[in-house]
Chains A and B, each alone.
Chain A
């Protein structure tokens, strides 16, 4: 298995531009998560999906952020318009529901976003 795939790996954009981050989860996994990593707050959960349905988007910082999962093998995180404070590493992760609450998540390599 190729693992969780994210693209692009690096994105540099100017303030006000639209940014789209992409994720392909591990085949067969039924949960997909979007995280943001910053020095101050560590790994913050932004939103997660179960069977392509958004379950909890309480971590999405503002309306400028949106996420979709049109099918089981693809998800996007969009920021429009982007701001310098959005600069961070964004991770996508996927997992397979198992009895007993064991929720090992498999992470992609991340997208490093820089907004100038």
Chain B
């Protein structure tokens, strides 16, 4: 059972335009959400996160939006740059420190973003 889903395997965008990557989750216990970025032949690296008490978090060109009622989050990249071309993973976390679920992230399948010059 895939608790975190990224339904778009790929996305192609023109340089300078907005990239929107989507993620849906099913587990209502998730209270922290993260986006990771992965280049070929490298491990994923942390990009941006959001707590369930917020609905938006912004860091430079990257903004994450959370809609808890819809169990949906999205990552906006504006303006998109060719260097943003990578695989983007959505991840979710549940549980308080010391709990049995603490520390565990559940990842989606990833979306391949290609930004064309």
Contact = CB atoms under 8 A, between A and B. Distances in A.
Nearest to B109: A42
Contacts, number: 79
A5 B102 CA distance: 23
Q: How large is the interface on B (under 10, 10 to 19, 20 to 34, 35 or more residues)?
A: 20 to 34
A36 B44 CA distance: 12
Given A97-B97, A101-B95, A102-B49, A110 B43 contact: yes
Contact of A43 (B32, B51, B95, B107): B107
A25 interface: no
B26 to A, nearest CB: 15
Given A42-B6, A93-B43, A97-B97, A105 B105 contact: yes
Interface of B: 2, 6, 31-32, 34, 36, 41-46, 49, 51, 89, 91, 93-97, 100, 102-110
